Amino acid sequence: MMHTQESIHETVVKQRNFFRTGTTLDVKWRIAQLRTLKQAVLANKEALQEALYEDLGKSPAEAYLCDIGPVIVEVNEILRGIRRWARPERHFSGLMCFPSTQTRVYKMPYGVSLIISPFNFPVLLTLGVLAASISGGNTAVIKASSKSAASTRVLKKMIAETFPEEYVTVIDGGHDAADMCLSERFDKIFYTGSPAVAKHVLSEAAGNLTSVALELGGETGNWCIVRKDADIKDAARKIAFFKLCNAGQICININQIAVAEEVADDLIRELKAEFVRQIGEDPANDPEYPKLITGSVYDKCERLTKVYADRVVFGGSGNRESCRFSPTMIYPVGIDEDIVRHELFCPLLPIVPFKDTEIDSVMDTIADREHPLSMYVFTSDMKWAWRVMSTQQYGGGCINEVCLHMMVKGVPFNGTGHSGMGAYHGEWGFREFTHPTTVLKGKTHLNLPLREHPYSGKAGETKMKLLKLFER
Protein backbone atom coordinates (compact mmCIF):
# COMPACT_ATOMS: atom_id res chain seq x y z
CA MET A 1 0.00 0.00 0.00
CA MET A 2 1.28 3.45 -0.95
CA HIS A 3 0.72 5.87 1.88
CA THR A 4 -0.34 9.44 1.22
CA GLN A 5 -0.58 12.43 3.50
CA GLU A 6 -4.34 12.04 3.48
CA SER A 7 -4.26 8.35 4.45
CA ILE A 8 -1.79 8.97 7.26
CA HIS A 9 -3.84 11.90 8.52
CA GLU A 10 -6.94 9.73 8.48
CA THR A 11 -5.12 7.07 10.53
CA VAL A 12 -4.06 9.64 13.12
CA VAL A 13 -7.61 11.01 13.34
CA LYS A 14 -8.99 7.49 13.86
CA GLN A 15 -6.50 6.84 16.62
CA ARG A 16 -7.20 10.15 18.30
CA ASN A 17 -10.93 9.46 18.25
CA PHE A 18 -10.35 5.99 19.68
CA PHE A 19 -8.11 7.37 22.42
CA ARG A 20 -10.80 9.87 23.40
CA THR A 21 -13.25 7.05 24.07
CA GLY A 22 -11.21 6.37 27.23
CA THR A 23 -10.80 2.68 26.43
CA THR A 24 -7.01 2.74 26.86
CA LEU A 25 -7.23 4.29 30.32
CA ASP A 26 -8.33 0.97 31.83
CA VAL A 27 -5.23 -0.81 33.14
CA LYS A 28 -6.93 -4.21 32.85
CA TRP A 29 -7.57 -3.49 29.18
CA ARG A 30 -3.89 -2.56 28.65
CA ILE A 31 -2.85 -5.83 30.30
CA ALA A 32 -5.07 -7.73 27.89
CA GLN A 33 -3.43 -5.95 24.92
CA LEU A 34 0.06 -6.72 26.22
CA ARG A 35 -0.83 -10.39 26.56
CA THR A 36 -2.23 -10.32 23.04
CA LEU A 37 1.01 -8.77 21.78
CA LYS A 38 3.06 -11.46 23.51
CA GLN A 39 0.99 -14.23 21.98
CA ALA A 40 1.29 -12.64 18.54
CA VAL A 41 5.09 -12.56 18.82
CA LEU A 42 5.22 -16.21 19.86
CA ALA A 43 2.81 -17.23 17.10
CA ASN A 44 4.91 -15.41 14.49
CA LYS A 45 8.31 -16.43 15.86
CA GLU A 46 9.36 -18.45 12.82
CA ALA A 47 8.21 -15.80 10.36
CA LEU A 48 10.12 -13.16 12.29
CA GLN A 49 13.25 -15.34 12.39
CA GLU A 50 13.07 -15.89 8.64
CA ALA A 51 12.63 -12.16 8.04
CA LEU A 52 15.59 -11.30 10.27
CA TYR A 53 17.74 -13.76 8.33
CA GLU A 54 16.62 -12.24 5.03
CA ASP A 55 17.30 -8.69 6.19
CA LEU A 56 20.39 -9.08 8.34
CA GLY A 57 21.59 -12.67 8.00
CA LYS A 58 20.76 -13.41 11.63
CA SER A 59 20.67 -17.09 12.48
CA PRO A 60 17.50 -18.30 14.26
CA ALA A 61 19.36 -18.44 17.58
CA GLU A 62 20.77 -14.92 17.27
CA ALA A 63 17.43 -13.60 16.06
CA TYR A 64 15.70 -15.00 19.13
CA LEU A 65 18.50 -14.03 21.54
CA CYS A 66 18.79 -10.43 20.39
CA ASP A 67 15.49 -9.47 18.80
CA ILE A 68 12.51 -11.69 19.60
CA GLY A 69 13.22 -13.05 23.09
CA PRO A 70 13.89 -9.61 24.62
CA VAL A 71 10.41 -8.48 23.52
CA ILE A 72 8.88 -11.32 25.55
CA VAL A 73 11.08 -10.39 28.52
CA GLU A 74 10.02 -6.75 28.20
CA VAL A 75 6.31 -7.58 28.06
CA ASN A 76 6.60 -9.95 31.02
CA GLU A 77 8.30 -7.26 33.10
CA ILE A 78 5.57 -4.77 32.26
CA LEU A 79 2.82 -7.27 33.09
CA ARG A 80 4.35 -7.86 36.52
CA GLY A 81 4.55 -4.18 37.41
CA ILE A 82 1.96 -2.19 35.50
CA ARG A 83 -0.77 -2.28 38.16
CA ARG A 84 1.65 -0.80 40.69
CA TRP A 85 3.14 1.76 38.29
CA ALA A 86 -0.25 3.01 37.10
CA ARG A 87 -1.74 3.42 40.57
CA PRO A 88 -2.33 7.11 41.44
CA GLU A 89 0.07 8.43 44.05
CA ARG A 90 -1.40 9.94 47.20
CA HIS A 91 0.33 12.92 48.78
CA PHE A 92 -0.24 15.10 51.84
CA SER A 93 -0.77 18.59 50.44
CA GLY A 94 1.08 20.34 53.26
CA LEU A 95 0.10 23.03 55.72
CA MET A 96 0.34 25.74 53.05
CA CYS A 97 -2.72 24.17 51.42
CA PHE A 98 -4.74 23.60 54.64
CA PRO A 99 -7.48 22.50 54.89
CA SER A 100 -7.10 20.88 51.44
CA THR A 101 -4.77 18.12 52.54
CA GLN A 102 -5.37 15.45 49.85
CA THR A 103 -3.47 15.43 46.53
CA ARG A 104 -3.20 12.71 43.91
CA VAL A 105 -0.77 12.28 41.01
CA TYR A 106 -2.27 10.43 38.06
CA LYS A 107 -0.07 8.75 35.45
CA MET A 108 -1.81 9.87 32.27
CA PRO A 109 -1.10 8.63 28.74
CA TYR A 110 0.01 11.21 26.19
CA GLY A 111 -2.47 10.02 23.58
CA VAL A 112 -1.47 9.12 20.02
CA SER A 113 2.16 8.05 19.80
CA LEU A 114 4.48 7.79 16.80
CA ILE A 115 7.19 5.12 16.96
CA ILE A 116 9.94 5.42 14.34
CA SER A 117 12.00 2.24 14.48
CA PRO A 118 15.39 1.35 12.91
CA PHE A 119 16.65 -1.49 10.72
CA ASN A 120 19.27 -3.05 12.98
CA PHE A 121 16.88 -4.63 15.52
CA PRO A 122 13.61 -4.24 13.66
CA VAL A 123 11.61 -6.48 16.00
CA LEU A 124 12.96 -5.49 19.41
CA LEU A 125 13.18 -1.77 18.72
CA THR A 126 9.67 -1.75 17.31
CA LEU A 127 7.71 -4.06 19.57
CA GLY A 128 9.71 -3.28 22.72
CA VAL A 129 8.82 0.39 22.33
CA LEU A 130 5.25 -0.52 21.41
CA ALA A 131 4.94 -2.46 24.68
CA ALA A 132 5.98 0.67 26.59
CA SER A 133 3.46 2.77 24.65
CA ILE A 134 0.67 0.28 25.37
CA SER A 135 1.61 0.14 29.05
CA GLY A 136 1.17 3.90 29.26
CA GLY A 137 -2.28 3.76 27.69
CA ASN A 138 -1.47 5.26 24.28
CA THR A 139 -2.38 4.34 20.75
CA ALA A 140 0.52 3.87 18.31
CA VAL A 141 1.43 4.58 14.72
CA ILE A 142 4.61 2.65 13.89
CA LYS A 143 6.85 3.86 11.06
CA ALA A 144 8.97 0.76 10.43
CA SER A 145 12.26 0.84 8.54
CA SER A 146 12.25 0.39 4.76
CA LYS A 147 15.78 -1.01 4.92
CA SER A 148 14.69 -4.11 6.84
CA ALA A 149 11.89 -4.73 4.36
CA ALA A 150 11.22 -8.39 5.18
CA SER A 151 10.86 -7.68 8.90
CA THR A 152 8.61 -4.72 8.17
CA ARG A 153 6.33 -6.93 6.01
CA VAL A 154 5.97 -9.48 8.81
CA LEU A 155 5.43 -6.80 11.45
CA LYS A 156 2.81 -5.04 9.34
CA LYS A 157 0.89 -8.27 8.77
CA MET A 158 1.21 -9.36 12.41
CA ILE A 159 0.04 -6.05 13.84
CA ALA A 160 -2.86 -5.81 11.37
CA GLU A 161 -4.04 -9.27 12.41
CA THR A 162 -3.60 -8.50 16.13
CA PHE A 163 -4.88 -4.95 16.69
CA PRO A 164 -7.42 -2.68 15.01
CA GLU A 165 -5.95 0.15 12.94
CA GLU A 166 -7.44 2.76 15.24
CA TYR A 167 -5.33 1.36 18.08
CA VAL A 168 -2.02 0.19 16.54
CA THR A 169 -0.91 0.27 12.93
CA VAL A 170 2.32 -0.09 10.94
CA ILE A 171 3.27 2.27 8.13
CA ASP A 172 5.98 1.18 5.72
CA GLY A 173 7.85 3.24 3.15
CA GLY A 174 10.97 5.38 3.12
CA HIS A 175 11.88 8.86 4.31
CA ASP A 176 8.90 10.35 2.49
CA ALA A 177 6.51 8.28 4.62
CA ALA A 178 8.40 9.25 7.76
CA ASP A 179 8.15 12.93 6.85
CA MET A 180 4.42 12.60 6.22
CA CYS A 181 4.07 11.10 9.70
CA LEU A 182 6.15 13.85 11.27
CA SER A 183 3.99 16.51 9.65
CA GLU A 184 1.01 15.22 11.64
CA ARG A 185 0.30 16.25 15.22
CA PHE A 186 1.22 13.42 17.56
CA ASP A 187 1.22 13.53 21.35
CA LYS A 188 4.43 11.51 21.81
CA ILE A 189 7.24 10.61 19.41
CA PHE A 190 9.79 7.89 20.05
CA TYR A 191 12.63 7.77 17.52
CA THR A 192 15.53 5.31 17.37
CA GLY A 193 18.33 6.03 14.92
CA SER A 194 21.07 8.51 14.11
CA PRO A 195 21.73 11.93 15.68
CA ALA A 196 21.49 13.59 12.24
CA VAL A 197 17.94 12.35 11.64
CA ALA A 198 17.06 12.99 15.30
CA LYS A 199 17.65 16.70 14.74
CA HIS A 200 15.08 16.61 11.94
CA VAL A 201 12.63 14.70 14.16
CA LEU A 202 13.04 17.26 16.94
CA SER A 203 12.61 20.13 14.50
CA GLU A 204 9.35 18.68 13.17
CA ALA A 205 8.09 17.87 16.67
CA ALA A 206 8.81 21.42 17.82
CA GLY A 207 6.07 22.73 15.55
CA ASN A 208 3.49 21.01 17.75
CA LEU A 209 5.54 21.08 20.96
CA THR A 210 5.34 17.28 20.98
CA SER A 211 7.17 15.36 23.69
CA VAL A 212 10.04 13.38 22.13
CA ALA A 213 12.21 10.48 23.28
CA LEU A 214 15.37 9.70 21.31
CA GLU A 215 17.56 6.62 21.40
CA LEU A 216 20.68 7.36 19.35
CA GLY A 217 24.06 5.81 18.72
CA GLY A 218 26.16 8.83 19.60
CA GLU A 219 27.94 11.13 17.18
CA THR A 220 31.46 9.95 18.01
CA GLY A 221 30.77 6.35 18.97
CA ASN A 222 31.11 4.20 22.06
CA TRP A 223 34.53 3.68 23.66
CA CYS A 224 35.98 0.55 25.22
CA ILE A 225 38.92 1.22 27.53
CA VAL A 226 41.37 -1.61 28.25
CA ARG A 227 43.87 -0.82 31.03
CA LYS A 228 47.17 -2.67 31.43
CA ASP A 229 45.88 -4.45 34.55
CA ALA A 230 42.85 -5.93 32.71
CA ASP A 231 42.28 -9.63 32.18
CA ILE A 232 43.18 -9.53 28.49
CA LYS A 233 41.84 -12.97 27.52
CA ASP A 234 38.49 -12.23 29.17
CA ALA A 235 38.30 -8.78 27.56
CA ALA A 236 39.12 -10.17 24.10
CA ARG A 237 36.50 -12.90 24.36
CA LYS A 238 33.75 -10.43 25.25
CA ILE A 239 34.80 -7.74 22.78
CA ALA A 240 34.97 -10.26 19.91
CA PHE A 241 31.50 -11.62 20.73
CA PHE A 242 30.02 -8.14 20.77
CA LYS A 243 31.68 -6.96 17.57
CA LEU A 244 30.47 -10.07 15.75
CA CYS A 245 26.92 -9.56 16.99
CA ASN A 246 24.79 -8.14 14.16
CA ALA A 247 28.07 -7.38 12.33
CA GLY A 248 28.62 -4.36 14.56
CA GLN A 249 25.30 -2.75 13.62
CA ILE A 250 24.28 -2.06 17.22
CA CYS A 251 23.81 1.35 18.78
CA ILE A 252 25.55 0.26 22.00
CA ASN A 253 28.37 -1.63 20.27
CA ILE A 254 32.05 -0.83 20.69
CA ASN A 255 33.01 1.76 18.10
CA GLN A 256 36.69 1.90 19.03
CA ILE A 257 39.07 0.52 21.65
CA ALA A 258 41.58 2.54 23.64
CA VAL A 259 44.18 0.09 24.96
CA ALA A 260 47.20 0.61 27.16
CA GLU A 261 50.19 0.21 24.84
CA GLU A 262 51.82 -2.05 27.42
CA VAL A 263 49.24 -4.74 26.59
CA ALA A 264 48.18 -3.71 23.07
CA ASP A 265 49.99 -6.58 21.32
CA ASP A 266 48.51 -9.08 23.78
CA LEU A 267 44.98 -7.76 23.20
CA ILE A 268 45.33 -7.88 19.41
CA ARG A 269 46.67 -11.44 19.55
CA GLU A 270 43.81 -12.57 21.80
CA LEU A 271 41.21 -10.76 19.71
CA LYS A 272 42.44 -12.52 16.57
CA ALA A 273 42.20 -15.86 18.32
CA GLU A 274 38.71 -15.12 19.61
CA PHE A 275 37.36 -13.96 16.26
CA VAL A 276 38.61 -17.17 14.66
CA ARG A 277 37.32 -19.33 17.52
CA GLN A 278 33.87 -17.78 17.49
CA ILE A 279 33.20 -17.36 13.75
CA GLY A 280 35.98 -19.22 11.91
CA GLU A 281 38.66 -18.27 9.41
CA ASP A 282 36.32 -16.92 6.73
CA PRO A 283 33.36 -15.10 8.32
CA ALA A 284 32.53 -13.22 5.12
CA ASN A 285 31.41 -16.52 3.60
CA ASP A 286 29.86 -18.01 6.72
CA PRO A 287 26.03 -18.02 6.57
CA GLU A 288 25.89 -17.80 10.38
CA TYR A 289 27.69 -14.46 10.37
CA PRO A 290 25.22 -11.53 10.07
CA LYS A 291 25.31 -9.37 6.98
CA LEU A 292 25.32 -5.62 6.48
CA ILE A 293 21.96 -4.04 5.79
CA THR A 294 22.79 -2.51 2.39
CA GLY A 295 25.49 -2.50 -0.27
CA SER A 296 26.30 1.11 0.59
CA VAL A 297 27.27 0.09 4.13
CA TYR A 298 29.47 -2.63 2.67
CA ASP A 299 31.07 -0.06 0.36
CA LYS A 300 31.79 2.17 3.34
CA CYS A 301 33.62 -0.69 5.08
CA GLU A 302 35.62 -1.42 1.95
CA ARG A 303 36.46 2.26 1.41
CA LEU A 304 37.65 2.82 4.98
CA THR A 305 39.63 -0.41 4.91
CA LYS A 306 41.49 0.83 1.84
CA VAL A 307 42.26 4.15 3.52
CA TYR A 308 43.81 2.32 6.49
CA ALA A 309 45.09 -0.68 4.51
CA ASP A 310 48.63 -0.39 5.87
CA ARG A 311 47.28 -0.69 9.43
CA VAL A 312 44.78 -3.52 9.03
CA VAL A 313 46.02 -6.23 11.40
CA PHE A 314 43.07 -8.59 11.01
CA GLY A 315 40.23 -9.02 8.52
CA GLY A 316 39.85 -6.38 5.86
CA SER A 317 37.92 -8.42 3.29
CA GLY A 318 34.37 -9.38 2.53
CA ASN A 319 31.81 -10.72 0.12
CA ARG A 320 29.78 -7.97 -1.48
CA GLU A 321 27.30 -10.37 -3.01
CA SER A 322 26.26 -11.62 0.43
CA CYS A 323 26.93 -8.17 2.03
CA ARG A 324 29.19 -9.74 4.68
CA PHE A 325 32.38 -7.95 5.75
CA SER A 326 34.85 -9.56 8.12
CA PRO A 327 35.53 -8.09 11.55
CA THR A 328 38.46 -5.79 10.83
CA MET A 329 41.00 -4.49 13.34
CA ILE A 330 42.91 -1.33 12.48
CA TYR A 331 46.02 -0.57 14.57
CA PRO A 332 47.53 1.78 15.58
CA VAL A 333 45.09 4.65 15.26
CA GLY A 334 45.59 8.10 16.76
CA ILE A 335 42.92 9.35 19.11
CA ASP A 336 42.31 12.39 16.87
CA GLU A 337 42.03 10.53 13.57
CA ASP A 338 38.77 10.81 11.64
CA ILE A 339 37.83 7.14 11.97
CA VAL A 340 37.44 7.46 15.76
CA ARG A 341 35.56 10.74 15.61
CA HIS A 342 32.28 9.36 14.25
CA GLU A 343 30.03 6.35 14.72
CA LEU A 344 31.00 3.48 12.38
CA PHE A 345 28.04 1.08 12.86
CA CYS A 346 29.86 -1.76 11.11
CA PRO A 347 32.49 -4.50 11.77
CA LEU A 348 35.49 -2.13 11.65
CA LEU A 349 37.35 -1.84 14.96
CA PRO A 350 39.96 0.94 15.27
CA ILE A 351 42.38 0.45 18.17
CA VAL A 352 43.98 3.47 19.84
CA PRO A 353 47.10 2.86 21.99
CA PHE A 354 47.90 5.04 25.00
CA LYS A 355 50.36 5.02 27.88
CA ASP A 356 48.55 3.65 30.91
CA THR A 357 49.91 6.52 33.02
CA GLU A 358 48.11 8.92 30.67
CA ILE A 359 44.65 7.41 31.08
CA ASP A 360 43.25 10.62 32.59
CA SER A 361 44.17 12.49 29.40
CA VAL A 362 42.37 9.84 27.34
CA MET A 363 39.24 10.17 29.46
CA ASP A 364 39.39 13.98 29.15
CA THR A 365 39.48 13.65 25.35
CA ILE A 366 36.47 11.32 25.39
CA ALA A 367 34.60 13.70 27.70
CA ASP A 368 35.27 16.61 25.32
CA ARG A 369 33.47 14.79 22.49
CA GLU A 370 29.78 14.08 22.09
CA HIS A 371 28.35 11.81 24.77
CA PRO A 372 28.35 8.13 23.76
CA LEU A 373 25.40 5.83 24.30
CA SER A 374 27.61 3.25 26.04
CA MET A 375 31.01 2.98 27.67
CA TYR A 376 32.98 -0.13 28.60
CA VAL A 377 36.08 -0.37 30.78
CA PHE A 378 38.26 -3.39 31.45
CA THR A 379 40.50 -3.15 34.50
CA SER A 380 41.18 -4.70 37.89
CA ASP A 381 41.30 -1.25 39.52
CA MET A 382 37.72 -1.01 40.74
CA LYS A 383 38.28 2.31 42.49
CA TRP A 384 39.30 3.91 39.19
CA ALA A 385 36.55 2.11 37.27
CA TRP A 386 33.74 3.24 39.55
CA ARG A 387 35.11 6.79 39.61
CA VAL A 388 35.15 6.93 35.81
CA MET A 389 31.72 5.37 35.39
CA SER A 390 30.21 7.76 37.93
CA THR A 391 31.71 10.94 36.46
CA GLN A 392 31.68 10.53 32.65
CA GLN A 393 28.64 11.51 30.58
CA TYR A 394 27.19 8.55 28.63
CA GLY A 395 24.03 6.48 28.41
CA GLY A 396 25.03 3.29 30.22
CA GLY A 397 27.83 0.78 30.33
CA CYS A 398 29.75 -2.03 31.97
CA ILE A 399 32.91 -2.73 33.95
CA ASN A 400 34.69 -5.86 32.68
CA GLU A 401 31.68 -6.77 30.56
CA VAL A 402 29.86 -5.68 27.41
CA CYS A 403 26.19 -4.92 26.60
CA LEU A 404 24.64 -6.79 29.56
CA HIS A 405 23.62 -3.55 31.28
CA MET A 406 20.69 -3.23 28.88
CA MET A 407 19.43 -6.69 29.86
CA VAL A 408 19.03 -5.89 33.56
CA LYS A 409 15.40 -5.70 34.64
CA GLY A 410 14.14 -2.61 36.42
CA VAL A 411 16.80 -0.22 35.11
CA PRO A 412 16.57 2.38 32.33
CA PHE A 413 18.11 2.27 28.88
CA ASN A 414 18.86 5.75 27.65
CA GLY A 415 21.30 8.22 26.18
CA THR A 416 22.23 11.82 26.76
CA GLY A 417 22.99 14.64 24.33
CA HIS A 418 23.94 13.20 20.94
CA SER A 419 23.19 9.70 22.22
CA GLY A 420 19.59 10.52 23.06
CA MET A 421 17.05 11.78 25.57
CA GLY A 422 14.46 10.02 27.66
CA ALA A 423 14.60 6.38 28.77
CA TYR A 424 12.66 3.15 28.59
CA HIS A 425 12.48 -0.55 29.55
CA GLY A 426 10.08 -1.73 32.23
CA GLU A 427 8.81 0.99 34.52
CA TRP A 428 11.03 3.55 32.79
CA GLY A 429 9.17 2.90 29.55
CA PHE A 430 5.86 3.32 31.34
CA ARG A 431 7.11 6.66 32.67
CA GLU A 432 8.34 7.73 29.23
CA PHE A 433 4.89 7.20 27.73
CA THR A 434 2.92 8.85 30.54
CA HIS A 435 2.90 12.30 32.07
CA PRO A 436 2.22 12.96 35.78
CA THR A 437 -0.92 14.97 36.45
CA THR A 438 -1.31 16.48 39.91
CA VAL A 439 -4.83 16.99 41.32
CA LEU A 440 -5.59 18.60 44.71
CA LYS A 441 -8.97 18.00 46.36
CA GLY A 442 -10.22 21.27 47.84
CA LYS A 443 -12.29 21.76 50.99
CA THR A 444 -15.37 23.95 51.23
CA HIS A 445 -15.01 24.58 54.98
CA LEU A 446 -12.33 25.94 57.33
CA ASN A 447 -10.54 27.78 54.52
CA LEU A 448 -8.08 30.28 55.93
CA PRO A 449 -7.82 33.83 54.52
CA LEU A 450 -4.02 33.50 54.39
CA ARG A 451 -3.76 33.80 50.59
CA GLU A 452 -6.26 36.65 50.30
CA HIS A 453 -5.84 40.41 50.56
CA PRO A 454 -5.00 42.43 52.55
CA TYR A 455 -1.24 41.75 52.61
CA SER A 456 -0.40 44.93 54.56
CA GLY A 457 -0.86 46.13 58.15
CA LYS A 458 -1.35 43.79 61.08
CA ALA A 459 -3.11 41.25 58.88
CA GLY A 460 -0.08 41.16 56.59
CA GLU A 461 2.31 40.76 59.52
CA THR A 462 0.27 37.83 60.84
CA LYS A 463 0.21 36.19 57.44
CA MET A 464 3.99 36.57 57.10
CA LYS A 465 4.52 34.83 60.42
CA LEU A 466 2.25 31.97 59.38
CA LEU A 467 3.93 31.67 55.99
CA LYS A 468 7.35 31.35 57.60
CA LEU A 469 5.93 28.81 60.06
CA PHE A 470 4.51 26.73 57.21
CA GLU A 471 7.86 26.75 55.38
CA ARG A 472 9.38 24.47 58.00
Could you list the active site residues? 215, 251
Sheet containing 348-354: order of strands: 312-314, 328-330, 348-354, 256-260, 223-226, 374-378, 396-399
Helix locations, 347-401, DSSP H: 359-368, 382-389
**At residue 168, what are phi and psi to the nearest 5 degrees?**
-140, 135
What Rg, from alpha-carbon coordinates, does the chain have?
26
Alpha-carbon distance of 185 to 207, in angstroms, equals: 9
| Beta-sheet pairing, 112-116 with 139-143 | parallel
Alpha-carbon distance of 203 to 205, in angstroms, equals: 5
Residues 262, 265, 269, 271: is their CA dihedral positive or negative?
A: positive
- DSSP SS3 for 112: strand
- CA-to-CA separations, 404 to 105, 224, 401, in angstroms, rounded: 34, 14, 7
Alpha-carbon distance of 114 to 169, in angstroms, equals: 10
Report yes or no: 284 and 317 within 8 Å, Cβ to Cβ.
Answer: yes
